[in-house]
Structure 1
Amino acid sequence: MSFLQIQDLTVRLRNGPPLLRRVSLGVEAGDVRALVGESGAGKSMIGKAVLGILPRAAEVSEGRILLEGEDLQTLSPKARRQRIGAKVALIPQDPLTALNPSRRVGPQITDRLVDILGWKRPAAEARALELLEEVHIQEPGRVMKAYPHELSGGMRQRVLIASAFAAEPKLIIADEPTTALDVTVQKQILKLIREMQQRHGTALLFVTHDLGVVSKIAQSLTVLYAGKVVEDTAVRSFFAGPSHAYSRALLAATPRYTDPDGSLTPVPDSVVAEVNREIAAFDVTMKEGGQP
């Protein structure tokens, strides 16, 4: 059984249209699954549904989210927070806004250990120093006392990675963790996340729109369009030949470093029209209560 199993998950705006359409996927213990698709496809929404932090205007209207076989939807809000806090962590997209600007870095790492695992503060601080060293931050003692604005973007992201691994979670959701960084730092952070994931044996649900990143970090991937899974496969199979027309178009639209002067290839209008027809037919089936 997958550590995380999502079954027919549907998220809707309250009294509105679906944002996720019967999404099903699994993340095995210790593996990396990528969620890919255009902006607005629903990638981050899946992570928010798992973490229980959906926007107030959205709600889960159908489906199950199983963590080690336990349906999170059946738990009380308090029990769910405790369960998620002990087992799952998040590496958010923007390190500047994710860190509290009015607090020093150290407590923002140690609070997770103290509040969730019940560590004593001195032990938590010692562990935080170890983690900062593990993510290759020099002078970790100085960084512990620094405020976020005193650190570079790359260092702030390293702090968030250290914080995510602090409580030894079994699953980390990385929500486009390199988007706000320059290309050189992106490469360093991706390598670091992969090193930490392998060292700790943590499952990783990696949200990205960059297929180049997928090829370097993931074993499996799920392609989304308008909140619907259009392809779910192994990474090797995907790059050998996607099965869905939209996936093939998405792969063809990826810039090639071997052809820096080449023009970008947009997803053809015909493919967009075809997948939109699929979505419309899917919505009709959902409304009628049938199986697509």
Structure 2
Amino acid sequence: MSAFLTVNNLSAALHGYEQRVLRSVSFSIDTGDVLGLVGESGAGKSMIGKAILGILPSAIEIVQGEIVLDGQDLEKMKPADRRRLIGATAALIPQDPLTALNPSRRIEPQITNRLVDILGWTKADARVRALELLNEVHIDNPERVMGSYPHELSGGMRQRVLIASAFAANPKLVVADEPTTALDVTVQKQILRLIRDLQARHATAMVFVTHDLGVVSKVCQRLSVLYGGKIVENSSVADFFNGPKHAYSRALLAATPKYTDPDASLLPVDDTVIEAAAAEVLAADREWHHGG
């Protein structure tokens, strides 16, 4: 059986520039599996998620490769057909719940409009589904929350609303873009457990964008390590934590704080490792330009 999502040799660049921001990215995800995209800030993790969902910034274009979702090559589809497929099949859990929600609208339409406008549900059915999802994400008094504005909710409750919205239409794929970054540690654990439970219950394929290898160990089955828009290692989570193959991956793992040993010294990524990873990126660019 083929993978539910396949990204093959994907490159993206700024309009009018030869410099790529994504470099020949390839990976696949089966139904029900979670792939972690890890790496430092600016590595291209969120950019990959946006490319999959068709929401790249207007200044960036895909210049090479394919994204195959549920057997259909998105890059070969008409824009309207692509939006329709993604709207019916995929969903996003964004990073910052305060900016992701419209501050001038109550919570109810922010969950139900997608069901009504894209999937053709009646408003009554969409409202019932929204209440079910708010219960499912463990929100007390969902009726009150449905009538609230985002600023009237806590950060954890806003993130629960976004998770409910993402899973409302039973998507086959969810892109979670660092969904716990804006939350305190206690709430982070609750939200991660909630996402993991919903993902397993619905057998949803998931791309989980994070810089936290501790999160990867709890949520993901596989991971891809990025540097400079290039994947330097694809691995199962078990194999990665038993011994990463790439020097940059080993340095990232070594730099991860060890909560079982709070007195241990932090080990920053060595400059020589960064220089070697950057050299790989430059070599890949030279090869790409030569091939073009």
* TM norm. shorter chain > 0.5: yes
In structure 2, what is the equivalent of residue 30 of structure 1?
32
- 1:43 correspondence with 2:45: yes
Rounded Cα–Cα distance in structure 1 between residues aligned with 2:154 and 2:267 = 34
* Runs ≥4 residues deviating over 3 A: none
SS state at 1:180 partner: coil
What do the CA deviations read for 1:97-150 (whole angstroms, capped 9, x no partner)?
000000000111011111122111011101100000000000000000000000
Q: Counterpart in 2 of 1:138?
A: 140
Moved more, 14-23 or 157-166: 14-23
State the partner residue of 2:218. Answer: 216
Q: Which runs of 5+ in 2 are unaligned?
A: none
Specify the alignment match of 1:264 in structure 2: 266
TM-score w.r.t. length of structure 1: 0.98
Q: Structure 2 length as normaliser, TM-score?
A: 0.98
What is aligned with 2:190?
188
> RMSD across aligned C-alpha pairs, in angstroms?
0.8
Provide the residue aligned with 2:4 in structure 1.
Answer: 3
Distance 1:130 1:277 in 2: 51
Residue 59 of structure 1, aligned match among 58, 61, 66: 61
State the secondary structure of the residue aligned to 2:291. coil
State how many pairs are aligned: 290
SS in 1 for 2:118: helix
Partner in structure 2 of residue 175 of structure 1: 177
Which whole-Å CA distance do the structure 2 matches of 1:115 and 1:32 have between them?
A: 28
Out of 74, 77, 84, the residue aligned to residue 75 of structure 1 is 77
Q: CA deviation at 1:284?
A: 0.7
SS in 2 for 1:266: coil
1:7 match: secondary structure? strand
Residue number in structure 1 paired with 2:16? 15
**Aligned ranges for residues 225-236 of structure 1 at < 5 Å?**
225-236=227-238
Q: How does 1:138-157 map to 2 (within 5 A)?
A: 138-157=140-159
Which stretches in structure 1 are left out of the alignment for 5+ residues? none
SS of structure 2 residue aligned to 1:66:
strand
Q: Which residue of 1 aligns with 2:278?
A: 276
Distance in 2 separating the partners of 1:54 and 1:264: 35
